[in-house]
Structure formats: structure tokens, C-alpha cells
Structure 1
Amino acid sequence: MSGWQAGLERRWSEPHRHHHDRTHLADVLAALDELAAGGEPFDAEVVRTAAWFHDAVYDPRADDNEERSAELALELLPSDENPSEVARLVRITRTHAADAGDSNAAALCDADLSVLASDRERYDRYADNVRREYAHVPDADFHAGRAAILVGFLERAALFTTATGRARWESPARANLDREIATLRSR
């Protein structure tokens, strides 16, 4: 383990993290492995490094987590680990909108969103953990805001950019989002 990874492990273990924690990081790294095994063409080393940094700074009350995480990558990574590309990828996770032909961004965004395709029990745990991270937000505001975010995802032609992501995760993710939106709107 490199020095920057040890420092990031401490960040990923902060007590206020319920979803954006070490389990999420491990899930994203496993999803990247799945995308690579599916034949997706991306720079695995750079994208895996970006996965480590993509939520390295996480404060649910802040709106600049991706930018601060990207800046951390620029600060901590040696030049031979392509810090500018890592920072660029981290910034893209703010919108999860990879440009056509950007295979590195497509892989990172798809891996980050792969939790949306989890089985029902895992998805419900994920949704509960997101709510715990936003415990400071009143219920009505959280329900409306979360539903708006999820509807925004559903309005996309595809949630996942890679062929592997679409084939494996698109249908179950859409079903989970529909179900959570219905639950949020019923509250």
C-alpha cells in the first residue's frame, strides 16, 4: 500500500460516513474489476487511483467535495501516477456524465453508480445509509431532494455509459430507483 492510500483509508473510515465509506470504495473497485473483465477499455491503474480519491473528501453539508477530492489528488499523487487525469476523473463524479469516447470517465462513473443495481436488501441498506449521512436535513426536504436526484438519473437515456454497465446494471438500477422514488413520494 502506498503512502497516499494509507492516508485515504483514514478518510474513508471517518465516523460521519455511512455510505461513502470503505465498503463503498471496495464496491467501486470491485465494479471496476467487473468492467475490466467485461472487456471495457480503460486505464485500470489511473481509474482505480481515481476511485480511491473520488470521495476522499466527504462532508454531506458541503457542495464542493469532488473539487476538494480532486485537489487532494493533485497534492498527494506523484507525477508518475498521473495526478491531473485522476483529478479530472474525480471532478466528473460530480455529475456522473462521461463524454462519448471518454472510457476512463465512463468506467469510473459506472462503477460509482453500480450500487444502484444492487439486490433489494443491499439497495435498501444503501438508501438508509445515504439518509443517515444527511440526518441534518429535515425529512420533507430530504425526500423531495433525493427524489429529484433519482428522477434526474431516470430521465437519462442510460444510467450507465459502458456496454458492460448497461447490460449488467441498467435494468435492476432503474427498478430500484423507481421503487425508492415511490417510497419517498409516499412519505
Structure 2
Amino acid sequence: MYTETLQNLWQQLLEPYTKEQSLIDESFEQIVAQYSQPHRHYHTLHHVYTLLQLLLEHSDLIADNENFLLAIYFHDAVYDVKAADNEERSAMAAAEFLFQTTYPAADIEGVMQLIRATKTHENPGNNPDIDYFLDFDLSILSAPADTYNAYAQQIRAEYSIYEDEVYHAGRKKVLQHFLDLPSIYKTDLFRDKREAIARQNITAELQSLS
């Protein structure tokens, strides 16, 4: 069960920075509760686990694996489809928790930067870890067609408060934005292996919404 894997890694990650086992346990329970909210269908613990697997697979390419891992846990801690500040609130949730530990302040800021980058998917400081974090976060776009289709349905379910006409217009705008980018993915690793597949998937979804 991936929840157990996530909990074990959380424990290993936090042990050097706090002697309060209750803080470790309760914070993980809160993370599980956040990602298990009933309005979530894609932005769930499974999404967190998917990013974790990508990190484990490519950890040698990441400069700061601890910051990266903490950002994975917190990057969608707050998720409200009606709000425009989910990423900032998620970054603040990470900081609020980490300041209860001895995690270095400069690294807390690094975690927050990774999370905040998922709002615009831009990396003006050219931090390589941010490039990988953003590509991992968008890895679903280059999934096999059936997995991508399931993802598209899950996103629709998360936006179920909106009628089709409103949702389709917004979704098409998002998808077209990706297609208009010179490259969806920022790293050579993802561009070489996944860019073409992502564009095929997005184009197919766009056609289905027309």
C-alpha cells in the first residue's frame, strides 16, 4: 500500500529534525486527511506517490532530495478549485510545519520555492531542481492514453461544480496553453522521452472537448 511507503519515508525524513514522534505522526495524518478530501479525484495521495516514484528513479539528478521530497508531500496540501492561491497556501503550510522542527530556514525557503513554482510552471531562476519538480508534476500528460483519459475524467470530477460549457472553455484554454509552449517539459530527460506523447494526449483531449 503506497500510504505505508509514504509514511515510512516521512518518518525517515523527519527523524533528524525533531524528537517529537507525535509531531511526525500527527503531521502525516494531516497530510493524509488533506489528500483524501472527498472533492479530490486526481490530486490525491496516489499523485504524491507517483511523484515520489519519479524522485526515487531520478534521485541522482536532483541536487537537494530532502527539499524535493518535502515539496512533493506539501505541493497540493491545499486544493480548492475555486481558489487562486492554492500553491501559496500549500507553501505556507509546509513552512508552518517545518518551523516546528530544526529543518534549516534556508531549506524551508527552498521547499516553498518548489511548491510556488507549480502555480505558473515557470523557473526564472533556472534552478534545475525546479525544472525536474515541474516535469514530475506534469508527468501525467505523457502517460499511456488510457491512463491519461482516466486523469482527464478525474480532473473533470474535481471541477464538477461547473457546467460543461464553463468547464470545457476553461479546460481548452489550459490545454491550448500547453500546446502553444515551445516545450511542455523543461528537462532534456522529459523532452526526449515524453514531449511527443504529451502533445498527442493533449491534442486528443482538445478534440474531445470540441
TM value normalised by structure 1: 0.91
Letter in 1 for 2:108: P
Q: Deviations over 1:13-54 (max 9, x none)?
A: 111110100111111112223333xx5343222111111111
Higher relative contact order (CA 8 A, sep 6+): 1
User: Equivalent residue of 1:159, what SS?
Assistant: coil
2:143 is equivalent to residue 122 of structure 1: no
Please point out which of 34, 40, 44 is paired with 1:17.
40
Distance of 1:71 and 1:32 partners within structure 2: 23
Please point out which of 58, 61, 65 is paired with 1:35.
58
Give ranges in structure 1 of 5+ residues lacking alignment.
none
Structure-1 residue corresponding to 2:66? 45
Structure-2 residue corresponding to 1:177? 202
Q: For the Cα contact (< 8 Å) 1:117–1:176, is it kept in 2?
A: yes
Letter in 1 for 2:174: I
Q: Deviations over 1:115-136 (max 9, x none)?
A: 0001011100000000000000
Distance of 2:96 and 2:28 partners within structure 1: 13
Q: For the Cα contact (< 8 Å) 1:47–1:107, is it kept in 2?
A: no
Percent identity (aligned): 35
Distance of 1:11 and 1:75 partners within structure 2: 15
Please point out which of 81, 90, 97 is paired with 1:60.
81
Distance of 2:102 and 2:111 partners within structure 1: 11
User: Equivalent residue of 2:193, what SS?
Assistant: helix
Aligned length: 183
2:173 is equivalent to residue 148 of structure 1: yes
Q: For the Cα contact (< 8 Å) 1:98–1:161, is it kept in 2?
A: no
Q: Deviations over 1:135-170 (max 9, x none)?
A: 001101111110100110111111111111112221
Superposition pairs of residues 155-166 of structure 1, within 5 angstroms = 155-166=180-191
Offset, 1:79: 4.4
Q: Which has the larger radius of gyration?
A: 2
Cα root mean square deviation, aligned? 1.5
Superposition pairs of residues 65-104 of structure 1, within 5 angstroms = 65-77=86-98, 78-80=101-103, 82-99=107-124, 101-104=126-129
Distance of 2:53 and 2:89 partners within structure 1: 24
Structure-2 residue corresponding to 1:110? 135
Letter in 1 for 2:133: L
Offset, 1:63: 1.3
Distance of 1:126 and 1:97 partners within structure 2: 23
Deviation beyond 6 Å, 4+ runs, structure 1: none
Give ranges in structure 2 of 5+ residues lacking alignment.
1-10, 15-23
Q: For the Cα contact (< 8 Å) 1:57–1:65, is it kept in 2?
A: yes
TM value normalised by structure 2: 0.82
